[in-house]
């Protein structure tokens, strides 16, 4: 009998690949799995839209991992066939050599007779193992055993793509430094000679493409992992990449109040850098030990066999690895990076893959692997952002000072001096260009801008052009290589302090010892605590190199717009002298002050207008890239903007029934005031009052949770100020608890807790009898509420979408992008600027509307409040599943009546269920 606790598997074969699903798939899931299989097999990029709640994540995981399993079997058979063929060819050659040798011996009429039992193949006489003795899964290292008969063999069954960095328990040979061979020197020489001549074939390593599954946030990764654990693939080797802020288990206040670290990254680097530990030991007159959790790079939790022994599944989440790290006193951050080397599926936020700086820091090797980007509707913006740079002159000068300081110490002084000079010249270029700003606005802000071509020409004239940049880049690579020794296992700090234990009581002898240590180890005797550049400087140098490599590239220099902003502002100076600051450039808590004064600040923006500048590298490296989201519509911009072909596309239908979602446009409210949400109309009291009445009627008709999305915080504030005066806000609060999305993200969690609690109270038996009937949350498009939070079931029974959320046309990045597309839409195949501008609006709108229906049994109403939706052309940008449901009513009374009927019918259906 089958185990009732194990869910049944639904098996489908698509493209020759057997796929197992824990539930019976919807037609949309089957379509998506078909596209994923085709993309992986044909090495073609995919663009797949499937509405939220249609099982998109489950389909992606099952199809991708099923293909990976089939690919492993296919490659394994291919490698085995090729290897067997090479072995047979090798045996034939050996036999021919043997026959030739015997023939030569007969011709020489050698008087000596061969001992009995030696008439066997030369391979066996020398200890060779033939085909039947060779394990299918042997790596290169394991094959070397056959060349050393005297060595002991320990088998390694690894099938995976990277066996270079094994822990001790994964070694394939005993670490025997003595010569245990029973052969004499002559025999050994003959064996080596024969080995070189025979050239026994090596079995190639099995390299199987890895699945990189990327999404926006770690919260979404957690949901994806839960889906994976439901499937028959819950045994695959997975790895989650996350920052130190989420995985570091060290105490952030380890040195408080002497040092206050702004991030765990800075703390980690200080604890692993022997020079930093030595500096701190000298300053605080006590030993500063290496991080106790590092244990040679998370060694205790760096293999999947270890995880299994500790009771942790191979499919784990951040909480699992952090909990295990605390228990075993081993670093989850570095342990997960070692697990990455043998993982079959890797989960990470998609900026880890997209951003060249982060990708380099994490050492992600993507060649030949499959990249799946979920929630990919923002990928164009992410790519442009990754290729852009905002550089403040103040920070540029601090970086220059760091490098000048190190140029006087001795180590790589030439490189540091050259870097400081390049940064200094850049700062002078900024000073010179800032004088060209002649006009300022009411906020004492002036801006001047140039094209990328003009900027590089100006750089060349100023001596910081492509030739100077290449020299700067080489010097940066030199010093970065030196700075990258933080993971060196030689603890020089500890060795230094072994001979100079310091306590709180200083003596002349101690001072002399310290001075000698400082002198002998290359530290600045005047200030031994600052012998390396700050991490802020490292970040600036890395960012400059990344962006300037594109800026000076002939293929991309025309894709940049460079602007210089000069602004007067009140600036707070927390310290006057960097030499009195905390370790590594961080502020000492006891030295902060609140001095402020008005200063002019210059900021240079290197704005990349072409996302293909970053995305092209991914497409040229990965096997295939699969972009998915619930809201990719309109889809025609991705191919042109990303500069890549997407031969495989899908716009899937929703899995819900027609009566589960009711969508209508709203032209006007009870007073028949035109609800056109263009800027010039929203400022009138008529619009503001009518909008308030529409929202009031909706809240009175729809129970539980209602979401309302506004185009901007400005309009939200304007409406609430008016409703406060007219008393309408008070009326709203009699019906529902009213909340507004805060501008500060750290205030959102508390509001969401209150919102969910209000909905839960109304959902309880008898909760709608008198008093509040739920909660109203007023949010903005492109905010946190519209992107990733869960509003399933009663948390969102209606979504009121106000206006069409066009980006702010006054925004510099938006205006430059529109102009850029107009200039290049013919030669680069881009959409004209206005079309691109519209697509950005509808993509934000579709994402907000996706909050309404979250699963197949969910239901809700969508109200598109704007008279422009009455025109068919303004509906084409909506997602396919919404586009065909929109109905138009002649009056608000008719709309309200149909809304009431819809809600009542759904509530009756819920009561029956």
Condensed to tens digits (0 to 9), the pLDDT of residues 101-123 reads 888 888 876 555 544 444 434 43
Q: Which helix (H) or strand (E) holds 798?
A: strand 798-802
871 within some domain: yes
Q: Which helix (H) or strand (E) holds 370?
A: strand 370-373
CATH number reported for the structural domain that contains residue 636 in this entry: 3.40.50.300
Residue 726 sits in the same domain as residue 856: yes
Residue 752 sits in the same domain as residue 603: no
461 within some domain: yes
Query: What is the pTM assigned to this prediction?
Result: 0.80
Residue 646 sits in the same domain as residue 562: no
Sequence-separated (6 or more) residues with CB below 8 Å from residue 780? 709, 710, 711, 712, 713, 716, 741, 786
Residue 689 sits in the same domain as residue 544: no
Please write the tens of the pLDDT for every residue from 324-369.
999 999 999 999 999 999 999 999 999 999 999 888 888 899 999 9
Residue 555 sits in the same domain as residue 631: no
169 within some domain: no
Residue 414 sits in the same domain as residue 371: no
Residue 445 sits in the same domain as residue 367: no
466 within some domain: yes
402 within some domain: yes
Alpha-carbon Rg for the chain in angstroms: 33
495 within some domain: no
The per-residue pLDDT for 189 is 44
900 within some domain: yes
Over residues 389-407, the mean pLDDT reads 91
Residue 745 sits in the same domain as residue 840: yes
Please write the tens of the pLDDT for every residue from 39-70.
999 999 999 998 877 889 999 999 999 999 99
The per-residue pLDDT for 127 is 37
Residue 753 sits in the same domain as residue 873: yes
**HSE (side-chain half, CA atoms, 13 Å) at 528:** 23
Residue 16 sits in the same domain as residue 50: yes
Please write the tens of the pLDDT for every residue from 764-805.
876 665 578 899 999 999 998 887 677 889 999 999 999 999
Per-residue pLDDT band at 275 (split at 50, 70, 90)? confident
Residue 693 sits in the same domain as residue 647: no
Q: 407: helix, coil or strand?
A: helix
Total structural domains within the chain: 3
Q: How many CB atoms lie within 10 A of CB 665?
A: 23
DSSP 655-686: SS-GGGEEEEEE-B-TT--B---SHHHHTSHH
**pLDDT over 90 percentage in the chain:** 51
The per-residue pLDDT for 655 is 83
Could you tell me the two tokens for 718? Answer: 């304007």
Note down the domain range covering 827: 661-911
Cβ pair 532, 479 in contact under 8 A: no
Sequence-separated (6 or more) residues with CB below 8 Å from residue 519? 525
186 within some domain: no
C-alpha–C-alpha distance, residues 490 and 278, integer Å: 13
Residue 402 sits in the same domain as residue 459: yes
């Amino acid at each position: 009998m089958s185990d009732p606790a194990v869910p049944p598997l639904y098996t489908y074969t698509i493209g020759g690949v057997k796929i197992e699903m824990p539930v019976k798939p919807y037609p949309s899931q089957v379509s998506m799995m078909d596209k994923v299989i085709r993309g992986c097999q044909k090495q073609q990029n995919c663009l797949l839209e499937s509405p939220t709640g249609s099982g998109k994540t489950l389909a992606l995981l099952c199809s991708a991992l099923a293909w990976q399993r089939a690919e492993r079997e296919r490659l394994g058979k291919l490698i085995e066939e090729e290897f067997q063929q090479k072995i047979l060819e090798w045996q034939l050659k050996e036999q021919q050599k043997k026959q030739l040798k015997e023939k030569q011996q007969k011709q020489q009429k050698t008087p000596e007779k061969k001992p009995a039992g030696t008439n066997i193949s030369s391979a066996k006489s020398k200890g060779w193992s033939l085909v039947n003795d060779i394990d299918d899964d042997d790596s290169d290292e394991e094959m070397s055993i056959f060349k050393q008969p005297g060595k002991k063999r320990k088998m390694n069954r690894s099938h995976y793509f990277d066996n270079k960095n094994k822990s001790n328990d994964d070694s394939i040979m005993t670490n025997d430094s003595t010569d245990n061979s029973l052969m004499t020197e002559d025999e050994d020489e003959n064996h080596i000679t024969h080995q070189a001549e025979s050239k026994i074939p090596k079995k190639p390593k099995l390299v199987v493409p890895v699945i990189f599954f990327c999404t926006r946030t770690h919260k979404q990764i957690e949901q994806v992992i839960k889906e994976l654990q439901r499937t028959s693939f819950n045994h695959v080797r997975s790895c989650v990449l996350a920052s130190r802020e989420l995985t570091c288990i060290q105490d952030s206040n380890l040195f408080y109040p002497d040092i206050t670290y702004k991030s765990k990254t800075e703390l980690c680097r200080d604890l692993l850098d022997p020079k930093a530990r030595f500096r701190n030991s000298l300053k605080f007159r006590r030993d500063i030990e290496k991080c106790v959790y590092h244990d040679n790079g998370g060694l205790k939790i760096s293999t999947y066999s270890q995880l299994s022994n500790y009771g942790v599944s191979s499919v784990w989440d951040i909480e699992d690895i952090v909990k295990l790290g605390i228990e075993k006193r081993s670093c989850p951050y570095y342990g997960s990076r070692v697990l990455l080397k043998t993982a079959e599926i890797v989960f990470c936020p998609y900026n880890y893959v997209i951003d060249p700086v982060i990708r380099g820091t994490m050492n992600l090797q993507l060649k030949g692997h499959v990249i799946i980007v979920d929630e990919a509707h923002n990928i164009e913006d992410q790519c442009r952002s990754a290729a852009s740079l905002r550089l403040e002159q103040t920070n540029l000068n601090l970086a220059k000072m760091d490098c000048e300081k190190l140029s006087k110490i001795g180590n790589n002084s030439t490189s540091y001096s050259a870097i400081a000079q390049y940064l200094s010249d850049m700062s002078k270029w900024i000073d010179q260009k800032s004088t060209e700003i002649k006009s300022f606005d009411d906020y004492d802000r002036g801006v001047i801008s140039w094209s990328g071509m003009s900027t590089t020409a100006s750089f060349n004239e100023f001596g910081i052009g492509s030739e100077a940049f290449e020299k700067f880049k080489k010097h940066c690579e030199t010093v970065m290589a030196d700075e990258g020794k933080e993971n060196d296992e030689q603890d020089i700090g500890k060795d230094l302090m072994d001979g100079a234990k310091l306590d709180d009581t200083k003596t002349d002898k101690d001072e002399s010892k310290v001075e000698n240590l400082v002198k002998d180890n290359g530290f600045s005797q005047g200030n031994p605590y600052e012998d390396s550049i700050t991490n802020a400087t490292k970040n600036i140098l890395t960012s400059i190199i990344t962006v300037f490599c594109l800026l000076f590239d002939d293929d991309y220099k025309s894709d940049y717009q460079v602007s210089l902003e000069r602004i007067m502002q009140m600036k707070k100076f927390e310290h006057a002298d960097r030499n009195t600051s905390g370790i590594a450039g961080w502020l000492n808590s006891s030295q902060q002050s609140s001095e402020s004064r008005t200063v002019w600040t210059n900021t240079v923006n290197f704005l990349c207008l072409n996302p293909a500048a970053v995305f092209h590298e991914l497409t040229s490296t990965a096997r295939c890239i699969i972009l998915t989201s619930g809201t990719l519509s309109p889809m025609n911009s991705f191919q042109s903007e990303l500069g890549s072909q997407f031969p495989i596309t899908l716009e899937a239908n929703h899995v819900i029934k027609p009566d589960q979602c009711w969508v209508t446009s709203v032209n006007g409210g009870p007073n028949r005031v035109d609800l056109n949400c263009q800027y010039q109309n929203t400022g009138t009291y008529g619009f503001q009052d009518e909008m308030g009445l529409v929202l009031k009627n909706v809240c009175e008709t729809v129970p539980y949770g209602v979401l309302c999305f506004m185009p901007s915080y400005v309009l939200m504030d304007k409406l609430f100020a008016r409703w406060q005066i007219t008393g309408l806000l008070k009326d709203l609060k009699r019906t529902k608890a009213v909340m507004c999305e805060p501008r500060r993200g750290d205030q959102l969690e508390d509001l969401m807790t209150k919102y969910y609690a209000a909905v839960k109270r109304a959902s309880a038996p008898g909760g709608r009898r008198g008093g509040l009937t739920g909660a109203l949350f007023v949010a903005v498009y492109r905010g946190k509420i519209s992107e990733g939070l869960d509003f399933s079931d009663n948390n969102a029974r209606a979504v009121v979408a106000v206006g069409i959320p066009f980006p702010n046309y006054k925004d510099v990045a938006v205006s430059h992008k529109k102009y850029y597309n107009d200039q290049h839409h013919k030669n680069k195949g881009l959409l004209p600027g206005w079309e691109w501008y519209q697509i950005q609006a509808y993509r934000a709108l579709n994402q907000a509307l996706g909050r309404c229906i979250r699963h197949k049994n969910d239901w809700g109403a969508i109200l598109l409040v704007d008279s422009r939706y009455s025109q068919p052309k303004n509906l084409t940008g909506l997602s396919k599943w919404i586009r065909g449901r929109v109905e138009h009513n002649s009056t608000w009374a008719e709309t309200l009546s149909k809304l009431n009927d819809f809600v009542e019918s759904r509530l009756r259906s819920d009561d029956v269920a």
